Amino acid sequence: MVSPPFLQKGSVIRIVSPAGKCEAEPLEGMVRWLKAEGHQVELGRHAAGSWFQYAGTDRERLTDLQEALDDPAVNAILCSRGGYGTIRLLEHLDFRGFRKHPKWVAGYSDITLLHSLLHRKGFRSVHGAMCRHSLGEDGLPNESFLRLMALLRGDKNPLTWPGHPLNRPGMTTAPLTGGNLSLLYALAGTPYEADTRGKILFIEEIGEYLYHLDRMMVSLRLAGKLKPLAGLVVGHFTGMKDNDDPFGNQAEEIILDAVREYGFPVAFGFPAGHAQPNFPLVSGGTYTLITGSEGCSLVPADF
């Protein structure tokens, strides 16, 4: 897997909006803060655009993203937000210029789709905070965005979090992949689907019905995506919903049931996803996962 160069003072950052529309104010605030940190910052031409629920037409969003991927001067691409729309761009992206000048791509939620595509093409990227909702009223970024920037500058400190009663203890060292579960499910059977063989799979979700979660997990199991895992890390499952007739199990129980017959370590409660904090993870990076009832850690081994 190819790791782009880490950021330094003066590195060029391009902010783009491949999916939902984003207000100009948080983008302008992020530009100011990043410049104060010593970076050169550029906005994609349609980063604050609007076309129905999107940040511009497919062509406009594609053009911004393609230009950022191609530009040899750009060192990192930050996404403004998720939403919906990235999947409409995937088949049109050209990575010939990117291969000559790889750069970090960072985001989560709908940006899971880009991480899966980059992973399949042999490039590492970062599942982490985005520009929208990352600045406080004081104009300073939250912990999640600070952690993202530290990683993009080369921080390789271990990530630790409390244990969970449903954890399956164990230790494994493997590359990591994953992101938003609904989008991993949506990619199944396409040329961009996640390659989970021998990987630590990270999943997170927001606002889904519990029976939808069960369907997604069973579908991934039937598609052979769960059996070959080296480990499973479960992040925030935020705002999950139930029917009037209860499904019967909560999110963690549904996930554990889907992988019950396999022996790899399972760690719940990792602080990443659609809630704070949202710790950054390198998609394609190799980590050592240590899981126990008292505590867990992801220790970077290579990225």
218 and 176, same structural domain? yes
User: Is residue 4 in some structural domain?
Assistant: no
The residue out of 131, 152, 173 marking a domain boundary is 152
At residue 293 the predicted structure's pLDDT band, cuts being 50, 70 and 90, is confident
Q: What are phi and psi of 293, to 5 degrees?
A: -75, -25
Mean pLDDT of the chain: 97
Domain of residue 214 covers: 159-302
Evaluate if residue 251 carries a pLDDT over 90. yes
Condensed to tens digits (0 to 9), the pLDDT of residues 118-169 reads 999 999 999 999 999 999 999 999 999 999 999 999 999 999 999 999 999 9
User: Is residue 68 in some structural domain?
Assistant: yes
179 and 79, same structural domain? no
At residue 294 the predicted structure's pLDDT band, cuts being 50, 70 and 90, is confident
Condensed to tens digits (0 to 9), the pLDDT of residues 77-88 reads 999 999 999 999
279 and 166, same structural domain? yes
The residue out of 109, 134, 152 marking a domain boundary is 152
Q: How large is the average pLDDT for residues 66-93?
A: 98
CA proximity to 43, closest of 70, 68, 72: 68
The residue out of 152, 183, 204 marking a domain boundary is 152
Cite the active site residues: 109, 204, 274
105 and 43, same structural domain? yes
Q: What is the CATH number of the domain that holds 65?
A: 3.40.50.10740
DSSP 213-258: HHHHHHHHHHTTSSTT-SEEEEEEEES-B--SS--SS-HHHHHHHH
279 and 186, same structural domain? yes
CA proximity to 104, closest of 283, 302, 289: 283
Evaluate if residue 74 carries a pLDDT over 90. yes
User: Is residue 64 in some structural domain?
Assistant: yes
- How far, in whole angstroms, is CA 216 from its chain's centroid? 18
User: Is residue 3 in some structural domain?
Assistant: no
Question: Kind of pairing, strands 76-79 and 12-16?
Answer: parallel
Condensed to tens digits (0 to 9), the pLDDT of residues 25-36 reads 999 999 999 999
Running DSSP on this structure, what letter comes out for residue 125?
E
User: Is residue 93 in some structural domain?
Assistant: yes
- Token pair recorded at residue 239: 């705002």
pLDDT at 299: 98
Q: How large is the average pLDDT for residues 171-189?
A: 97
Condensed to tens digits (0 to 9), the pLDDT of residues 37-46 reads 999 999 999 9
- The radius of gyration computed from the CA coordinates of the chain, to the nearest angstrom, equals 18
30 and 74, same structural domain? yes
Q: How large is the average pLDDT for residues 275-301?
A: 96
100 and 64, same structural domain? yes
Evaluate if residue 67 carries a pLDDT over 90. yes
193 and 79, same structural domain? no
User: Is residue 1 in some structural domain?
Assistant: no
Evaluate if residue 292 carries a pLDDT over 90. no
236 and 110, same structural domain? no
User: Is residue 5 in some structural domain?
Assistant: no
272 and 179, same structural domain? yes
pLDDT at 213: 98
Q: How large is the average pLDDT for residues 55-80?
A: 98
268 and 228, same structural domain? yes
How many structural domains comprise the chain?
2
266 and 148, same structural domain? no
Q: What is the CATH number of the domain that holds 172?
A: 3.50.30.60
pLDDT at 116: 98
User: Is residue 2 in some structural domain?
Assistant: no
